[in-house]
Structure 1
Amino acid sequence: MRGIGEMARDGGLSVSALRFYDRAGVLAPAWVDPVSGYRWYEPGQLDEARLLARLRRAGMPLADIRLVLAGWAGRDTDLVRGLLQAHLRRLDLGLSAARGEFSTLRALLDHRETDPMTSLRTATATVRLSVPAPELAAALDAVRFAAGTDAELPMLGGILFDVEADELRLVATDRYRMAVAAVRTTGHDGPRTQVTVALPLADAMRALLTGQESVQLGVDGDRVTLESGDRQTSGRSIGHEFPDYRRLVHLPAGRRVRVGTAAFRRALEAGPVRAGETREPGGEPYDLSVLRVAADGTVIVCADGDDDQHHVAVNREFLVHALTAGARDELILELGAPTAPLAIRRPDDERTFSLLMPVRLED
């Protein structure tokens, strides 16, 4: 018999993935210790685990994987071959359709780049404004965790500095979460200006913000500079358009619940989790926390079996990061529909908040 750790190592799956596939009825252990709950697998299940890992990397749905594994165990090679061929046909058709859509999108982009009425251009205005150092430091701390690291999406690998009237908004997103913070400014009376600051430069800026005085933020074309007394840091902005975040933050009102940050974080870290689907092909499943609002207005971390279509599932690690970035003893969780983002807000500052994309639970 193999323990779950040994099975994960030899089968090419993580421990959390094996737990997920057990709960999904795809690959159940041969025996579960009734006291510890530890899972044990028979030697013959190793081939099934390796097959499962390959099928998931190929993007086969779990419903079909169940049939493949059943056919594999019963030596029904015709069934297995048929399911593999059907999935390959779906992939070919999907790729053909995707190529057609991308061809149309490229044509639309070419038109947008050559049409002066619709072209999106990086701002080249010269802007200089004054920002209180503590407020800018707090704003950077509030959004830094949500910045992207995907090399294929360089426009998300930084923090948007959005200057309009007497306010500076900082925004970061990696597609699965978004954080927004606002800072009051003085000295700017020009048009709205946006620039995306790369994370290394944003971190260098944060290191300068150690005092209580105001600092000077300057934008000159694609160069961004922060001056604090006789110290300064500067660098080029990211030369890609940041998504229009304003279209993403206007959400239908959900149910607002005030939580004690430390206690709720402990409940998350010690509470039950479920393994979520991978976000990328071949990636590792991640821990989900499933939340519901009880009758007394408290937020409950749901255990297995406590299922309801109105519960909201989110990446637990992302939620813990958002609670830390909220930097308040109490925060407000705003839960809407299960398909709507979960909002984490400050009771005393509605302009600073985080959004977490919900995760659909596997049927």
Structure 2
Amino acid sequence: MRSIGEMARDSGLGVSALRFYDRAGVLVPDRVDPVTGYRWYAPEQLDEARVLARLRRAGMPLADIRLVLAGWTAADTDLVRQLLEAHLRRLEDGLSSARAEFSALRALLDDRENPMTSPHAGTAVRLSVSGRDLAAALDTVRFAAGTDPELPVLAGVHLDVEGDALSVVATDRYRMAVARTAAEGHRGGRVQATVPLPLVDAMRALLDGADETRLALDGDRVTLEAGDRQTGGRCLDQDFPDYRRLVRLPAGRRAEVDVPALSEAVRTGPVRLHEDEADAVSRELTVLEVSDDGRVGPVAEGTDAKDPVAVNRAFLLDALAAGARDRLVLEFGASTAPLAIRRPDDEHAFSLLMPVRLAD
């Protein structure tokens, strides 16, 4: 018999993935200790786990995987081959369609790009900003910055200067955070720059104890001065997404929440396990519901909830903490619309969490 750790090591599936497949009824352990709850797998289940790992890497849906494993166990090679060939055809058809769409998108990009114009060309902005307010803005958005090496432009914090306001934005595609602070010294048009995270963290450290600071955007460089201290460096040279389009959400249900109470309810309350289709890792989700009397809280699986919204539990706790208020406003749209978390006293500081579509 193999423990779940040994099974994970030998099969290429993570422990969390094995737990998920157990709950989903795809790969159920041969025995579960009734006292400790430890899972034990029979020797012949190792082959099934390795097949499962390969099928998930190939992107096969769980419904088909169940049939493949059933055929594999029963030595029904004809069924297994038919399912594999059907999935391969779907992948090839999807790839062909994706190539056509990407070809059209590249043509559109070629039409829009002007290679003679740099996103930083001609910018030279000097701003006076409250050190405390800039630190608070960075603290509000830093948690939402991306870490995906395939999308380096999201591994930074975006600065957007327009008039007497400095907007600070970060997103990793699954969540977004926005904050704004007053800035003096710029009366021109809109100027934008994206600061890489190591430089963002250096800037934030410089702001501790600082009162008035000076922020300079000059071409592709950003510099922050606080008293006689200074830090600076190059901005990222990719274009940041048009975040203003992403924050235009339709009006939804609003509920003001007690942040410490809701955070504790989320930490200790029920969770749903959701398998990430990209890496077959099980994520913990919190499913939120707004009751008729305006109360917000997590609901357990199987509860007959009205218009629930499922979000990544860790992301939700991060957003509640970054709100830096004892009271926050949650805005719920449809189950497929982002969850907005806003400060009641500051309309320009908020977070958006992308929902996760539940199977049922």
TM score, norm. by length of structure 2:
0.93
Q: Number of aligned residue pairs: give it.
A: 360
Letter in 1 for 2:316: L
| Cα contact 2:210–2:226 (8 A) shared by 1 | no
Q: Which residue of 2 aligns with 1:312?
A: 309
| Cα contact 1:224–1:234 (8 A) shared by 2 | yes
Instruction: Please give the residue correspondences for 1:149-160 in structure 2 after superposition, counting only pairs within 5 Å.
Output: 149-160=147-158
| Cα contact 2:59–2:277 (8 A) shared by 1 | no
Q: Which residue of 2 aligns with 1:333?
A: 330
| Cα contact 2:210–2:227 (8 A) shared by 1 | no
In structure 2, what is the Cα distance between the partners aligned to 1:268 and 1:5? 28
In structure 2, what is the Cα distance between the partners aligned to 1:262 and 1:51? 45
In structure 2, what is the Cα distance between the partners aligned to 1:359 and 1:191? 38
| Cα contact 1:16–1:275 (8 A) shared by 2 | no
In structure 2, what is the Cα distance between the partners aligned to 1:358 and 1:247? 18
Instruction: Please give the residue correspondences for 1:1-363 in structure 2 after superposition, counting only pairs within 5 Å.
Output: 1-32=1-32, 37-114=37-114, 121-278=119-276, 280=278, 282-306=279-303, 308=305, 310-363=307-360
In structure 2, what is the Cα distance between the partners aligned to 1:83 and 1:153? 34
Letter in 2 for 1:140: L
Letter in 1 for 2:183: T
In structure 2, what is the Cα distance between the partners aligned to 1:4 and 1:266? 30
Letter in 1 for 2:328: L
In structure 2, what is the Cα distance between the partners aligned to 1:192 and 1:111? 23
Residue 121 of structure 1, CA deviation: 3.5
SS at match of 2:25: coil
In structure 1, what is the Cα distance between the partners aligned to 2:12 and 2:130? 51
In structure 1, what is the Cα distance between the partners aligned to 2:13 and 2:302? 24
Deviates more, 1:182-191 or 1:286-295: 286-295
| Cα contact 1:255–1:336 (8 A) shared by 2 | yes
- Relative to 1, partners in 2 of residues 1:37 and 1:302: Cα closer, same or farther, differing over 3 Å? farther
Please list every run of 5 or more consecutive structure 1 residues that lacks an aligned counterpart in the other structure.
Answer: none
Deviates more, 1:26-35 or 1:216-225: 26-35
How well do the aligned residues superpose, as a CA RMSD in angstroms? 2.1
In structure 2, what is the Cα distance between the partners aligned to 1:115 and 1:227? 33
TM score, norm. by length of structure 1:
0.92
In structure 2, what is the Cα distance between the partners aligned to 1:160 and 1:114? 22
SS at match of 2:136: helix
SS at match of 1:331: strand
In structure 1, what is the Cα distance between the partners aligned to 2:200 and 2:130? 16
| Cα contact 1:309–1:338 (8 A) shared by 2 | no
Residue 319 of structure 1, CA deviation: 1.0
Letter in 1 for 2:14: S
SS at match of 1:343: strand
| Cα contact 2:262–2:297 (8 A) shared by 1 | no
Q: Deviations over 1:162-208 (max 9, x none)?
A: 00111100000010100000001112111111111111111111111
In structure 2, what is the Cα distance between the partners aligned to 1:105 and 1:295? 45
- Relative to 1, partners in 2 of residues 1:265 and 1:157: Cα closer, same or farther, differing over 3 Å? same
Task: Report % sequence identity.
Answer: 67
Q: Deviations over 1:7-56 (max 9, x none)?
A: 33333222322232233332233444556655443333222222111111
Residue 3 of structure 1, CA deviation: 4.0
SS at match of 1:196: strand
Residue 283 of structure 1, CA deviation: 4.8
Deviates more, 1:256-265 or 1:221-230: 256-265
In structure 2, what is the Cα distance between the partners aligned to 1:292 and 1:5? 36
Residue 344 of structure 1, CA deviation: 1.2
Residue 279 of structure 1, CA deviation: 5.3
Letter in 2 for 1:125: T
Residue 228 of structure 1, CA deviation: 0.8
- Relative to 1, partners in 2 of residues 1:347 and 1:146: Cα closer, same or farther, differing over 3 Å? same
SS at match of 1:276: strand
- Relative to 1, partners in 2 of residues 1:46 and 1:253: Cα closer, same or farther, differing over 3 Å? same
In structure 2, what is the Cα distance between the partners aligned to 1:90 and 1:209? 53
Deviates more, 1:4-13 or 1:282-291: 4-13
SS at match of 1:51: helix
